[in-house]
Amino acid sequence: MFGIIAVYLWQMVVANQKLLLDLGSVNVRWHAYEFFLLLLTFILLPVNWLLEALKWQVIAAAANLSLRQAIKGVVLGLTLDNVLPLGTGAISGRIISLPDEHRIRLIPGVLAGQIMQSLITLVFGLYGFWLVWSKASSLFLWQPINTFFVLGIIVVIALAGIFWQSKIGKFLAPLWHYSIRSWRIIFGYSFLRYLIFLAQFMILSVIFTSEIETTLVFACATWVFAAKTFMPKISNLEKLGIRALAVVFFMNLFGLPVTGMLMTVIILWFINLAIPSIVGLVLLKELKTDSQMK
Question: What is the average per-residue pLDDT within 157-180?
Answer: 66
**Which of the two residues, 274 and 3, has the higher pLDDT score?**
274
Collapsing DSSP to helix, strand or coil, 243 comes out as helix
C-beta separation of 87 from 231 below 8 A: no
Residue 5 pLDDT exceeds 50:
no
Region 233-248: what's the mean pLDDT? 68
For residue 52, give the nearest of 109, 100, 114, 115 by alpha carbon. 114
Q: Is the pLDDT of residue 289 over 70?
A: no
- What does the pLDDT read at residue 30? 83
Alpha carbons 262 and 253: distance in angstroms, whole number: 15
Q: Which of the residue ranges 26-40, 69-83, 139-153, 154-168 has the most confident prediction, judged by mean pLDDT? A: 26-40
Q: CA torsion sign, 210 to 250 to 14 to 231?
A: positive
At 14 the pLDDT is 53
**Residue 81: CA atoms inside 13 Å, Cβ hemisphere, count?**
21
161 falls in which pLDDT band (50, 70, 90)?
low
Would the pLDDT of 282 be above 60?
Answer: yes
The Cα–Cα gap between 166 and 290 comes to: 39
| Mean pLDDT score of the chain | 77
**pTM of this prediction exceeds 0.85:** no
* Confidence grade of residue 117 (pLDDT, cut at 50, 70, 90): confident
